[in-house]
Amino acid sequence: MSIQESDLGAETAAATALSHDFSNLSVRETEDRLESGVYPKREITIVRGEGAKLWDDTGREYVDCVGGQGSANLGHCNPYVVEAIEKQARTLLNCPEIFYNDTRAEVLKKLAEVSPPGMNRIFLCNSGTEAVEGALKFARLLTGKTDIIATVRGFHGRSMGALSATWEKKYRDPFYPLIPGFTHVPYNKIEAIREAITDKTAAVLIEPIQGEGGVHVPSDDFLPALRKLCDETGVLLILDEIQTGFCRTGKFWGGDHYGVKGDLMTVAKSIAGGIPMGAVLMDERFGPLDKSTHGSTFGGNPLTAAAAVAAIRYMQDYRLDQRSAELGEYFMGKLQPLAGKPGSVVREVRGKGLIIGLELKQKVVPYLKALMDRGVLALPAGPNVLRLLPPLVIEREQLDFAAEQIAAVLVG
Ligand SMILES: Cc1ncc(COP(=O)(O)O)c(C=O)c1O
């Protein structure tokens, strides 16, 4: 007799068994019933992707301007990445960092090759928030100081350290107390940062272009002035390139537009062509960090490393930075005029390369649904900004189609 039958009785045991039988649930019922519930969902089931196209379970095709929330810069099922994963999966799937590994060494060299000069000390991890978490710890380790200056509307992730740097109230409020020592100052205001620096400040953590917070591009002199301020005060500059990196903005890094590099830099999203991975890149002057001060079981694992080597090689071979700049200008040329049109709900169009935000006079959510019905998938960035992050391999005709649908939905 099993434990259930003896303890609960046959009827209760049958009911218990039944409540664990989810085999008849549809895909959407399964996710609604079994997932944590933290994600707002859209009413489609995506089953396949190629380049900038996605298909749902009814066979309907969409032009993807969500781009895996920035993780699909290389397009869906990029052939370089798929081939590298297939090959590596047959060779070695995991290998903790306590051992040396050939594929990991390759990805470290690749990252060092494309990183701003001197950013050659690299910590490999698995996501954006984990990269930010690492950078915050390293900033404390390197300076012996505790405090971090972040920005109003900044987004850096949702684990406790990263969340303490993230500004949005609705992400933070349920989780107090957060980590002490974080202040938020207005973005693009150098004097506010100068005033916020104290003798406890370890670092300023900032996005070169704010993404999630509404696609805000700083003035040309802001980041150079911030670099100078950090140098003068001995405060570290952490550039969060998680959304702006890997060619998204029309240059390899967001900071390249301003000739600025951080002391530390956080990267993730498209680093491995759509496979989960993150990294902290540090200036080589920091040398090797003390042993065992940080770590991660899956950090630098060979499967993601192989995907990242292939992804970065693809970015280089196909000059995705240039492509993003050209296509961004083309797309912007079509979207910018929507702001002035009679009957338009567009207040302003902002962006660089293929990170574009359309600030609306209304809440964005109903427009996202209307666009989806017309075959275009897009993102919000705050309550009233429509954000477009298409794969950088998108074709001009697909941008034309997206721009037509956006105009139809946003201009009355
Ligand atoms: C600038 C920035 N930092 C950090 C993160 C967090 O990355 P992840 O969602 O991979 O944890 C994001 C995600 O959108 C981001 O845009």
Q: Is the pLDDT of residue 12 over 80?
A: no
Query: In the listed set 273, 295, 317, which residue is the last one of a domain according to the structure?
Result: 317
Any atom of ligand 1 within 6 Å of the Cβ of 132: yes
Atom in ligand 1 nearest the alpha carbon of residue 278: 10
> Residue 288: how many CA atoms within 13 Å on its side-chain side?
3
Average pLDDT over residues 360-376: 98
Q: What pLDDT is recorded for position 144? A: 98
- State whether 225 and 285 are in the same domain: yes
Q: How far apart are alpha carbons 265 and 158 in whole angstroms? A: 18
- State whether 232 and 293 are in the same domain: yes
Average pLDDT over residues 340-350: 96
Q: How far apart are alpha carbons 195 and 391 in whole angstroms? A: 39
Taking residue 216's Cβ as centre, other Cβ atoms within 10 Å add up to 22
Any atom of ligand 1 within 6 Å of the Cβ of 240: yes
Q: How far apart are alpha carbons 164 and 139 in whole angstroms? A: 15
Any atom of ligand 1 within 6 Å of the Cβ of 245: no
pLDDT tens-digit profile of 263-310? 999 999 999 999 999 999 999 999 999 999 999 999 999 999 999 999
More confidently predicted of 223 and 15: 223
16 confidence band (pLDDT: 50, 70, 90): low
> Distance, CA 406 to ligand 1 centroid (Å)?
26
pLDDT tens-digit profile of 103-136? 999 999 999 999 999 999 999 999 999 999 999 9
Query: Which of 269, 275, 298, 379 to probe ligand 1 with, by most ligand atoms within 8 A of CB?
Result: 269
Any atom of ligand 1 within 6 Å of the Cβ of 377: no
Question: What domain range is 353 assigned to?
Answer: 46-76+320-410
Q: What pLDDT is recorded for position 14? A: 58
Any atom of ligand 1 within 6 Å of the Cβ of 270: no
Q: Is the pLDDT of residue 150 over 70?
A: yes
- State whether 62 and 86 are in the same domain: no
21 part of a folded domain: no
- State whether 269 and 396 are in the same domain: no
Average pLDDT over residues 310-332: 98
16 part of a folded domain: no
Q: Is the pLDDT of residue 201 over 70?
A: yes
19-28, 164-173, 222-231, 378-387: range with lowest mean pLDDT: 19-28
Check residue 205 and report its DSSP letter: E
CATH number at residue 103: 3.40.640.10
Any atom of ligand 1 within 6 Å of the Cβ of 304: no
213 part of a folded domain: yes
pLDDT tens-digit profile of 178-200? 999 999 999 999 999 999 999 99
412 confidence band (pLDDT: 50, 70, 90): confident
- The answer for residues whose C-beta is within 8 angstroms of residue 159's C-beta and 6 or more apart is 129, 130, 132, 133
Q: Is the pLDDT of residue 256 over 90?
A: yes
pLDDT tens-digit profile of 54-75? 999 999 999 999 999 999 999 9
Q: What pLDDT is recorded for position 5? A: 45
CB 396 within 8 A of CB 331: no
- State whether 289 and 351 are in the same domain: no
Q: Is the pLDDT of residue 1 over 50?
A: no
- State whether 52 and 90 are in the same domain: no
Which residue's CA lies nearest to atom 2 of ligand 1?
156
Q: How far apart are alpha carbons 256 and 273 in whole angstroms? A: 21
Give the whole-number percent of the chain exceeding pLDDT 90.
Answer: 94
CB 205 within 8 A of CB 156: yes
Q: Is the pLDDT of residue 17 over 70?
A: no
Q: What pLDDT is recorded for position 54? A: 98
Beginning with the edge strand found earlier in the chain, give each strand of the sheet holding 355-360 in spatial order: 346-352, 355-360, 385-388, 379-380
pTM: 0.95
Tokens of 163: 């969340």
- State whether 164 and 202 are in the same domain: yes
Average pLDDT over residues 300-329: 98
CATH number at residue 327: 3.90.1150.10
Q: What pLDDT is recorded for position 20? A: 84
Average pLDDT over residues 75-89: 98
Any atom of ligand 1 within 6 Å of the Cβ of 211: yes
Atom in ligand 1 nearest the alpha carbon of residue 268: 10
Residues β-bridged to residue 281: 122, 265
- State whether 120 and 159 are in the same domain: yes
Question: CA nearest 398: which of 373, 377, 368?
Answer: 377
- State whether 302 and 372 are in the same domain: no
Q: Is the pLDDT of residue 4 over 80?
A: no
Any atom of ligand 1 within 6 Å of the Cβ of 268: yes
Q: How far apart are alpha carbons 359 and 143 in whole angstroms? A: 39
Q: Is the pLDDT of residue 351 over 60?
A: yes
Three-state secondary-structure class, residue 122: strand
**Mean pLDDT value across the chain:** 96
21-25, 148-152, 263-267: range with lowest mean pLDDT: 21-25
Q: Are strands 376-377 and 61-64 parallel, antiparallel or unpaired?
A: parallel
Q: What pLDDT is recorded for position 2? A: 45
Q: How far apart are alpha carbons 353 and 150 in whole angstroms? A: 24
Average pLDDT over residues 203-229: 98
Q: What pLDDT is recorded for position 68? A: 98
Any atom of ligand 1 within 6 Å of the Cβ of 126: no
Average pLDDT over residues 392-407: 98
Q: How far apart are alpha carbons 155 and 240 in whole angstroms? A: 9
What sign results for the dihedral spanned by CA atoms 369, 374, 377, 380?
Answer: negative
The tally of domains found in the chain comes to: 2
- The answer for residues whose C-beta is within 8 angstroms of residue 226's C-beta and 6 or more apart is 190, 193, 204, 206, 237, 260
